[in-house]
């Protein structure tokens, strides 16, 4: 991995896509059959506000240092990288060998709405970012079972740390060509496309 994408200037807009490859077929009678053929991944398109050369140059230098699509790097997207709930405490995975679309956890602040549907989380043991699919309130003892999508890509270890704020997505550029636009005014216009890598 090759560093963290610069956070200033902040994106003007951010488009996030969830990619879940699926094969669909229909029988003559109209019955639908669906099968997932690969894992889920996040893609993002970020647009910057008009920038001066002094603002743009460090961003483009970081981009060129990625050698096209070769390197991966961390990107903490503004706005969505923090939960809507009041996630507090020292959250950990509660029990090893978990699989599927739920995660048993502990260490949260007691009896608190910690996540709302649409929030993200990440585990320290791998680079995958998961979306929470239902509101989550911790119990009186700080435990919580969290519904996530996609299914866990790997079984977490017991007491693995849960990242729930300033979540870093591990990404790479979606194209080997990165171009910018400028003119006599000296203003730079720029957009990036990245995709999650594991």
Helix (H) or strand (E) holding 57: helix 53-65
Q: Give the residues across from 60 on adjacent strands.
A: none
For 46-80, how does the pLDDT look when each residue is reduced to its tens digit (9 = 90+)?
999 999 999 999 999 999 999 999 999 999 998 89
Q: Please tell me whether the overall predicted TM-score, pTM, comes out greater than 0.85 for this model.
A: yes
CB distance 105 to 146 below 8 Å:
yes
| Four-point Cα dihedral 134, 137, 142, 146, nearest 10 | 0
Residues near 67 by Cβ (< 8 Å), separated by ≥ 6? Answer: none
Distance CA 156, CA 93 (A): 7
For 116-165, how does the pLDDT look when each residue is reduced to its tens digit (9 = 90+)?
999 999 999 999 999 999 999 999 999 999 999 999 999 999 999 999 99
Provide the percentage of residues in the chain whose pLDDT is more than 90: 83
Examine the pLDDT at 36 and tell me if it is beyond 90. no
- The reported pLDDT for the residue numbered 181 is 87
């Amino acid at each position: 991995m090759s560093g963290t994408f610069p956070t200033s200037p902040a994106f003007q807009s951010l488009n996030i896509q969830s990619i879940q490859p699926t094969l669909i077929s229909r029988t003559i009678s109209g019955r639908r059959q669906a099968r997932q053929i690969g894992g889920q991944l996040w893609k993002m398109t970020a647009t910057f506000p008009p920038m001066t050369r002094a603002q743009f140059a460090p961003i483009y230098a970081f981009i060129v240092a990625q050698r096209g699509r070769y390197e991966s790097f961390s990107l903490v997207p503004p706005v969505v990288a923090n939960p809507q709930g009041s996630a507090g405490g020292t959250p950990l995975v509660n029990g090893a060998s978990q699989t599927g679309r739920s995660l048993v956890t502990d260490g949260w602040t007691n009896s608190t709405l910690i996540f709302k549907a649409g929030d993200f989380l990440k585990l320290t043991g791998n680079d995958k970012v998961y979306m929470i699919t239902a509101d989550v309130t911790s119990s009186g003892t700080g435990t919580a079972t969290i519904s996530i999508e996609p299914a866990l890509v790997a079984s977490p270890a017991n007491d693995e740390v849960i990242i729930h704020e300033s979540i870093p997505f591990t990404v790479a550029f979606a194209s080997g060509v990165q171009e910018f636009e400028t003119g006599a005014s000296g203003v730079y216009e720029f957009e990036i496309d990245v995709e999650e890598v594991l």
